[in-house]
């Protein structure tokens, strides 16, 4: 049987749920960012799948490209913030970062 829209949606759903689980349970800030990346990827799979099966054209793919660009920007700034937190608090436990200054 040929993979239908539902197959792609199911893969994206599992990916999103695992990303959400990562964000909710991890204390390591880098791991939380990884979870966010997983969720963004899941939404991207949905965009491209709906573009292919339902909408047609290229709008979904272009939107997915913008999502990829913004995800890269988010990762760069997020990891810079993580490094800054590490310099300040000497840990990247997300529970430790409860101050905005030293």
Q: What is the DSSP secondary structure assignment for residue 93, as one 8-state letter?
A: B
* Residues of this chain, 33-92, that bind another protein according to CB under 8 A: 33-35, 37-38, 41, 44-45, 48-49, 51-54, 56, 58, 61-62, 64-66, 68-73, 75-77, 79-84, 86-87, 91-92
Looking at the Cβ atoms of 2 and 99, the one nearer to another protein is 2
Nearer to another protein, 62 or 99 (CB): 62
Comparison of 8 and 98: residue with beta carbon closer to another protein: 8
Residue 58: helix, strand or coil by DSSP?
Answer: coil
Number of shown-chain residues binding another protein (CB under 8 A): 71
Q: Establish how many alpha carbons lie within 13 A of residue 51's alpha carbon, considering only the half-sphere containing its beta carbon.
A: 15
Determine the Cα–Cα distance for residues 75 and 54; give it in Å rounded to an integer.
31
Residue pair 42/12 in contact (Cβ under 8 Å)? The answer is yes
């Amino acid at each position: 049987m040929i993979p239908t829209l539902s197959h792609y949606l199911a893969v994206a759903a599992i990916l999103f749920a695992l990303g959400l689980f990562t964000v909710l349970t991890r204390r390591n800030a880098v791991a939380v960012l990884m979870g966010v990346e997983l969720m963004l990827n899941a939404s991207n799979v949905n965009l491209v799948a709906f573009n292919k099966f339902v909408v047609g054209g290229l709008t979904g793919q272009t939107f997915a490209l913008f999502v990829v660009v913004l995800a890269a920007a988010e990762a760069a700034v997020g990891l810079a913030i993580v490094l800054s937190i590490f310099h300040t608090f000497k840990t990247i436990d997300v529970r430790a970062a409860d101050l905005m200054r030293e």
